Structure 1
Amino acid sequence: MRTVEDRRTDRSVLHVVHVIHSLGPGGAEDVLVTFSRHAAAAGITMTVMALSPADRTSGHVAELRAAGAQVVELGLGRWDPRAVPRLARLLRRARVDVVHTHLKHADVVGGLAAVLARVPTVSTLHVIELIAEGAVARLKRRLGLRVRRAVAERTIALSGAQREWYESFSGGRAPSLIVLPNGASDPQTTDRDPAALRRELAVPDGAALAVTASLMRPEKGHHLLLDALERLPGDLGLVVALAGDGPLSEELGARVRADPRLRDRVRLLGYRDDVAALLHAADLVVHPSLEDALPTTLILALGAGRPIVATEVGGIPDIVSPDTGSLVPRDPDALAAAIRRAVTDPQMRREQGAAARRRFREHYDAEVWMSRLRSVYDEVV
C-alpha cells in the first residue's frame, strides 16, 4: 500500500476521483465520459463517485465503465448527512491522489470528505447562475462557495466570463481560480450515415438542417429560439431539430404542436446519445442560451466543422469566433436574422465550418485539454 509520501514522489500515474451529484443526463456528466476516454493516455487512473441516484436514465455509467473508469454510486439523497463520512471512508480505501468535484452538491460533500481523507481537491465550475433564484438556491450556492474557497487547491473556471461572474459573486479575486476550458473527443467520424439521419428527420431535399442540443431548462433559451422561428418566412428551406429533455419538454412540445408555423419545421427528438451524429447531419448549429458557462455542444460543433449561430452570453464568445459563426443578442429578431443569413448563404457556411474545425484542433481537442488538466493535478499533489 502506497503512503502519502509515496504518492508525492511517484507521479507517473495519478489516481483521480471525480465526485458528482449523479450520473443522469447533463453537460458535466458528458465531460466525465470524455475524461474517461483520454485518462490513460495522460497517466491518470479514474474513479467516478456519484452521490445520488440519477433523476433520469442515461448511458453514462456504461460509457464510463467501457472506457476503463471505476464507477461507485452511493445512492444517497441530496444533502444526506451520511454522505461526507461515507465518501471519506471510500477515499481512504481507494488511495487517491486528487479529488475533483463537479457542481455545488459535490463541491460541498466531496470537498469536506477530501479534507477528512487528507487528499487535495480541484473543483470545476460548470455553470453561470444569473437567472433569479429562491432563498434555498442562494443558500446552497453560498455554501458551495465557502467550502470550495476553504478546501479547493484549484478552482477551474471554463471561460473568462465565468471567471468574472465567480469573482463578482464571491466578492473579489480568488487566488486559486484558473481558467481552463473543457475539451471534447474529436467528433470528426461517426458510425451513422448523415443522409440516412436526415431522412429519418424528414428533412426535404434542398432544405437546411439546424440542430440545437441542450437540456430543456429555462436558461437554455428554447422559447427564444421558437420566437425566432416564428419570424422566419414559411418558404425558407429549414428544419430545426431539438435534441434534449428536461423540465420544459412538455411545455415546448405543446407550443410546437399548437402552432402550424413551428409544427412543420421543428423536430422534437427528446434525449439523444448520438449528438455527434446529429451534428454531422446538420448544416448549422443553433444555441440560443440565456446564460451558459461553456456549452459542450458548441465545442463538438467546432469539431464537426459546423457553423454556429448563438447568443452572445457567458462563455459562448470564448468558443465562437467571428470566422466560425454568428453571435447575436438575446433577441428573437436578431436570432432569426442570423439563422436566415446562414441558411441562405451556403458559401459562408462552408468557410465558417472549415474555420471551426481548425479552431477545435487548436483549442479544444481532448488531448490538449487532458495535458493541461494533468499539469493542474501535478501542481496540487
Structure 2
Amino acid sequence: MKIGHLVESLDPHGVAAALADLATAGPAAGYGLVVVALNPSDQPGIAARLGRTATPVVELNVAPWDPRAVPKVLRAFREHGVDLVHTHGLRPDVVGSAAAARLRIPAISTLHHIHAQPADRGDHLRRTAKTLARRRFMTRTIATSMLQRDWYRAAAGSTAGLSVIPDGAADPGVGTPEAAARFRRGLGVAENEVVAVSVAPMRRGQGQDMLLDAVAELPQDEPVTVVLGGDGPLRPWLESRVAGDELLSGRVAFRKDTDPVELLQVADVQLHTTRHDTMPRRLVLGHGTGTPAVATRVGGIPEIVTRETGALTSVSASRIAEELVRMARDPQLRARRGAAARQRFLDRFEASVWADALGAVYRSALGHADAPAPDELDAPEPALPLRGA
C-alpha cells in the first residue's frame, strides 16, 4: 500500500516529526508513505529525515482558502500513485478529503486536538458540524487517546468508524551512565544530585511558570537541579524570571540547543507540568528513554503516565513539588518506575506497534480480505500489574 499523508507543514514541532518515524516503520507493516505539505517549512530537518527513508515529499505553497489547493494536492497524490489519503489537521482534512473523493480512494483523518469547552452555542454548533462532516467524508477517523474518543462521541453522537490509536515514536533508547556523568559535570552538580528535566515547548499553557513556582517550594537543602530544554515564545520571560530570583537561579538551568531526547536520556526525572495536552510526544519519548515522570493529570496524559511509570498530580505547584521531592528521595522508586516507563513505551508507543495498528486500519478501509473488523481496530492497552508504587 502507498499512503498519502497530508499535513499543514513539515514543522518539526508538529505531526511531521512523528511521520518521519512512521516512514521508517511503515514498510515492515506493509506500506510506504508519500508526505504532502500545504505550506513549505524553513526548517529542513524533517524533509531530510523523510528523504533518508526514500519517502517522497512534496511541499506546496497554498494560502488559506486558495482554490488551487485541491488540484495541487490531487496532482501530487496522483503522480505518486497513492492508494489512500491520511490527513492531519483542519485544512488538510478539507483539502485531503476532496482530493480523495476525486481519486475515488478512501480518506482517513487523525484527530490531534480536543475542543472540549466551546466558547458559546455558535462555536459548539460549528464544531459539531465539522465532526459530522468528518463522519460524512472520511472512511475512518483515528483518535490518539480515549479522551478524544469520548469528546468525539459527545460531538458526533457515535463512535462509528473511529479507532483509538496513540501516535508512536521511534525508540529513542536509554542513556548511558557516562553521558549522564558528563552532563552533570557540565551543570556543575554533584553525583548524588537529582536532575529533573522539562522539554515541553515554551508556550502558553505548557505550565513552565507553574513549574518554577514548584521549584521555589522545594526545601532549600533538597539536592535537585531542574533543566528547562526546548524553546518557544515564553523563553525570554522564563529566563528573566529565573535570573531575577536568587533561589531559582541557583537551581534552574536552561539548555536551548541540546536535543530533547539527549536531555531525557541523562535525566533522573522528567517533568511535564502542562495545563492542557492531548497526547504529548515528548512525554512519550521520555518513557522511551526509561525516565520516570512527574506530570499533571490533564488531557491524554493519564493514558501515557500510570502509577507504575510516574506520578500524576493536580494542576498545582505544591503537588508538583511534593511528588518531585518524593521521587528525588527514593532512587529505588525512580528505578522501578523508569523500567516500567520503558516497557510501556515498547508495548504501546514504539513506532512499529503504531505502524502495525495503522496498517490494520488502512487494510480495513481498503477492504482487504485479511483486514480485521472495524470494531477490532483499537490499539490494545497493555495491562500493567499494580504494585502500589
Please classify the TM superposition score into its range, dividing by the shorter chain length.
0.7 to 0.9
**What is the aligned counterpart of 1:52 among 39, 43, 56?**
39
What is aligned with 1:124? Answer: 110
What is aligned with 1:295? Answer: 280
What is aligned with 2:323? Answer: 338
* Matches of 2:184 and 2:133, distance apart in 1: 48
What is aligned with 1:327? Answer: 312
Report if aligned partners of 2:313, 2:320 keep a CA contact under 8 Å in 1: yes
Q: 1:353 to 1:190 in 2, by over 3 A?
A: closer
Per-residue CA deviations over 1:237-256 (Å, capped at 9, x if unaligned) read 22222222223222222222
* Matches of 1:106 and 1:354, distance apart in 2: 38
Query: For residue 358 of structure 1, what is the amino acid of its counterpart?
Result: Q
* Matches of 2:133 and 2:252, distance apart in 1: 44
**What is the aligned counterpart of 2:5 among 18, 30, 34?**
18
Report if aligned partners of 1:46, 1:70 keep a CA contact under 8 Å in 2: yes
Per-residue CA deviations over 1:109-135 (Å, capped at 9, x if unaligned) read 222222222221111112234578799
Report if aligned partners of 2:181, 2:191 keep a CA contact under 8 Å in 1: no
Q: 1:175 to 1:132 in 2, by over 3 A?
A: closer
Structure 2 matches for 1:197-346, cutoff 5 A? 197-270=183-256, 272=258, 274-346=259-331
Q: Which runs of 5 or more structure 2 residues have no equivalent in the other structure?
A: 367-389
Query: For residue 184 of structure 2, what is the amino acid of its counterpart?
Result: R
Per-residue CA deviations over 1:279-330 (Å, capped at 9, x if unaligned) read 1100011111211111122222222111111111111111111111100111
What is aligned with 2:47? Answer: 61
* Matches of 2:324 and 2:331, distance apart in 1: 12
What is aligned with 2:92? Answer: 106
* Matches of 2:261 and 2:210, distance apart in 1: 24
C-alpha displacement of 1:149: 2.4
* Matches of 1:354 and 1:316, distance apart in 2: 18
What is aligned with 2:181? Answer: 195
- Runs of 4+ more than 6 Å apart: 131-140
What is aligned with 1:39? Answer: 26
Structure 2 matches for 1:79-98, cutoff 5 A? 79-98=65-84
* Matches of 1:29 and 1:286, distance apart in 2: 24
State the number of aligned residues: 365
Q: 1:84 to 1:342 in 2, by over 3 A?
A: same
Q: Which runs of 5 or more structure 1 residues have no equivalent in the other structure?
A: 1-13
Q: 1:131 to 1:270 in 2, by over 3 A?
A: farther
* Matches of 1:139 and 1:240, distance apart in 2: 44
Q: Calculate the TM-score normalised by the size of structure 2.
A: 0.86
Report if aligned partners of 1:323, 1:355 keep a CA contact under 8 Å in 2: yes
* Matches of 1:366 and 1:206, distance apart in 2: 34
C-alpha displacement of 1:162: 1.7
C-alpha displacement of 1:165: 2.2
Q: 1:149 to 1:282 in 2, by over 3 A?
A: same
Q: 1:178 to 1:65 in 2, by over 3 A?
A: same
* Matches of 1:149 and 1:28, distance apart in 2: 22
Query: For residue 82 of structure 1, what is the amino acid of its counterpart?
Result: R
Per-residue CA deviations over 1:309-355 (Å, capped at 9, x if unaligned) read 11111111111111111001111111111111111111110111112
* Matches of 1:141 and 1:58, distance apart in 2: 34
C-alpha displacement of 1:166: 2.6
**What is the aligned counterpart of 1:178 among 160, 163, 167?**
163
* Matches of 1:240 and 1:266, distance apart in 2: 5
**Segment of structure 1 superposing worse, 297-306 or 335-344:** 297-306
Task: Classify the secondary structure of the residue corresponding to 1:193.
Answer: helix
Task: Classify the secondary structure of the residue corresponding to 2:15.
Answer: helix
* Matches of 2:242 and 2:127, distance apart in 1: 34
C-alpha displacement of 1:96: 0.8
C-alpha displacement of 1:141: 5.5
Query: For residue 100 of structure 2, what is the amino acid of its counterpart?
Result: A
What is aligned with 2:347? Answer: 362
Q: 1:362 to 1:108 in 2, by over 3 A?
A: same
Report if aligned partners of 1:187, 1:303 keep a CA contact under 8 Å in 2: yes
* Matches of 1:270 and 1:161, distance apart in 2: 32
* Matches of 2:197 and 2:279, distance apart in 1: 18
* Matches of 1:58 and 1:316, distance apart in 2: 30
What is aligned with 1:6? Answer: none
**Segment of structure 1 superposing worse, 119-128 or 263-272:** 263-272
Per-residue CA deviations over 1:128-177 (Å, capped at 9, x if unaligned) read 34578799998986675354222211111111112112333x24223121
C-alpha displacement of 1:190: 6.2
Report if aligned partners of 1:107, 1:144 keep a CA contact under 8 Å in 2: no
